[in-house]
Structure 1
Amino acid sequence: MTKQLNVLTEEQVNQFLTDGYLVVKDLFSQEDIRTIEDTFEEISHTTVPGLFEPDLSGEVEDPLKRYPRVMHPHRFNDTAKQYLLHEPVMAVLADLYGEEALAAQSMFYYKPPGSRGQALHQDNFYLQVEPGNCIAAWTAIDAANEENGGLLIVPKTSAHEISCPELADSTESFTTHYVKPPKDQKAMPVIMDKGDVLFFNGNLIHGSYRNKTKDQFRRAFICHYANASATHISNHYRPLFRQDGTPVDLEINTDGGPCGIEFETAYPH
């Protein structure tokens, strides 16, 4: 990195560049985490057409029907937008990119007890940030581990090209795409404390376990970002935002990625 670092050490940046991921602590205060918890607890009792549509009947067998993920909460909730643009997170991203980051997406996962995980996949297959790459900031609102459905990553796969996915096992994954790790490389769990933030490269193969507990949610606030020098992104993620909230419209990436336009409708992120 030639640009002077603001918040990270050279060792941290080198780990991200080598392994494709980095866990950073203390970017959110306990008050921040409580605010996020309270905000999404309130949202969980509402319906937002196209972005959050829970089954509130009380008669569902699949826990993800009652608690689906919230898509783009920053588009309808000011608190979600505030934390999408959280200055400590944006500062880390600026060090990882070597330039300003643009916020492209927010999500919230409730991951209730018994719910399926998400098959291994690569984020930039969907975001299609060019030139450059997306980076995810995955914040643990609850401690995440192997029992409650914590995240799985395949280290160093950030150096691999985007792969065309296979069909996932629907009994274990709520999404349909599965990317097989390279030969002799295996997924490993990332054990996270409440409030930890995992940053990872858009090519890194990752997914999550099923929540095997009977009484623990595994909530996470997940945001995706693009480098300011990017010119194209998938249409689903526009507009993007600078840290000060100014909207930025990149060009729509229309080529469908490496596997063609038929995959564009999948939109799992």
Structure 2
Amino acid sequence: MSSTVAEVYERDGVVQVPGVLDRSEVERLRAAYMSLVAADHSLAVDDGVPDGDPLARYPRFVHPHRRTDVEAGRLAMDLMLDGRILDVVTTLIGPALGAQSMFYFKPPGARGQALHQDNTFLRAHPETCLAAWIAIDDVDAENGGLAVVPGSHRVELACPEPADLAESFTSVEVPVPAGMQTVQTRMAAGDVLFFHGSVVHGSRPNSSIDRFRRALIFHYVPEASTEIAEFYNPLVRPDRRTCTLPVAVGGGPCGEYADAEP
């Protein structure tokens, strides 16, 4: 793995790797998840969105890799442990365990997600989690692509403030650290954005007329982790065996905020 990837990650806490998945792989993922969401919402997170909200029809899915009885789940498990992704993960955080999979549909008109930091929720210790955010569509500001705050992996986890519910389906957000600023990402379908669990990131609404912003996201933690929030057990080893870490107790300095969402 090129040292440049590790150097960019060390400097910014976020690095984009282009073209990890090819067009046929992206199309297969897209078709599998669109078929699943049309038939079954059992993997959906209850975000409390009202009827008529675009996210009521297209809710985010959590832990599809645990549902290997359906194609979408099998694809998630395979890709979570795919060497093209896992090799980068290992370069950035060492030997790793798969902790979470998620699929976001974000249809036209859907609200975004306020700025947040992932390890507030995973509570991996003593290090942090790492996200691998896979673009299933071309992504930019118009259809609600991620905005990230480079360098924010060097600051402490921040406690939340109220979010603008007209813009975000989640109710709280963390502030941008002093002296830093958000950067809008642009990604082609098949690109992967890797980012540190303390990186502040979020997205604005999908303001496009006819463009989804679908994404498959994995979270990993170092194999040497000593605890994690209960929601993420059991974790997955690279050989597909599962393991369980001791449960992190308490919500840390932000209290119940850590339990607000997976």
For normalisation by structure 1, the TM-score amounts to: 0.90
Return 20-29 or 216-225, whichever deviates more: 20-29
Paired residue for 2:56? 65
Per the TM alignment, residue 136 of structure 1 is displaced from its structure 2 partner at its CA by 0.3
| Contact residue 251 and residue 259 of structure 2 kept, 8 A | no
What is the rounded CA distance, in whole Å, between the counterparts of 1:243 and 1:125 in structure 2?
Answer: 25
Distance 1:150 1:173 in 2: 13
Conservation of the 8 A alpha-carbon contact between 1:87 and 1:243: no
Q: 1:4 is matched with which residue?
A: none
Aligned match of 1:3: none
Structure 1 residue corresponding to 2:144, chosen from 129, 142, 149:
149
Residue identity over aligned pairs, in percent, reads: 41
Deviation, structure 1 residue 143: 0.6
Aligned twin of 2:248: 253
Q: 2: distance between equivalents of 1:14 and 1:201? A: 13
Separation in structure 2 between the aligned mates of residue 213 and residue 48 of structure 1, nearest angstrom: 24
Residue matched to 2:92 = 96
2:184 aligned with 1:192: no
Residue number among 70, 79, 86 corresponding to 1:83 in the alignment: 79
Q: CA deviation at 1:166?
A: 1.1
Question: Residue 186 of structure 1: CA displacement?
Answer: 1.7
For structure 1, the 5+ residue unaligned runs are: 1-6
Contact 1:47 1:53 in 2 (8 A): no
Task: Return 251-260 or 150-159, whichever deviates more.
Answer: 251-260
SS of 1:133's equivalent? Answer: coil
Question: What is the aligned partner in structure 1 of residue 70 from structure 2?
Answer: none
Q: Is the 8 A contact 2:121 2:259 kept in 1?
A: no
Q: Take 2:85 and 2:66, find their aligned partners in 1: how far apart are those partners?
A: 19
In 1, the alpha carbon distance for the partners of 2:162 and 2:40 equals 30
C-alpha distance in structure 1 between counterparts of 2:206 and 2:41, whole Å: 25
Amino acid at match of 1:249: T
* 1:209-248 alignment, distance < 5 Å: 209-248=204-243
* Contact in 1 for aligned 2:98/2:219 (Cα 8 Å): yes
Contact 1:140–1:221 (Cα < 8 Å) also in 2? yes
- Identify the match of residue 46 of structure 1 among 39, 45, 66: 39
Deviation at 1:60, TM superposition (A): 4.3
Q: Matched residue pairs, number?
A: 254
Residues 120-144 of structure 1: CA deviation (Å, up to 9, x unaligned): 0000000000011100000000011
Where do 5+ consecutive residues of structure 2 fail to align? 68-72
Secondary structure, aligned partner of 1:44: helix
**What secondary structure does 1:142 align onto?**
coil
Question: SS at 2:38's partner residue?
Answer: coil
| Deviation sequence 1:21-69 (CA, Å, 0-9, x none) | 00012322222212211210111112243x2279xxxx94210111011
- The amino acid that maps onto 1:82 is D
- Within 5 Å, which residues of 2 pair with 1:83-162? 83-97=79-93, 99-162=94-157
After superposition, the C-alpha distances for 1:228-268 in whole angstroms (9 at most, x for unaligned) are 110100001111101221101111001212222x224312x
Paired residue for 2:25, among 32, 36, 40?
Answer: 32
Residue identity in the other structure for 2:124: V
Q: For structure 1, which segment, 28-37 or 232-241, has the greater mean C-alpha deviation from structure 2 after superposition?
A: 28-37
Runs of at least 4 residues of structure 1 off by over 4 A? none
- For residues 188 and 25 of structure 1, what CA distance do their matches in structure 2 show? 17
Give me the whole-angstrom Cα distance separating, in 2, the residues matched to 1:42 and 1:84: 20
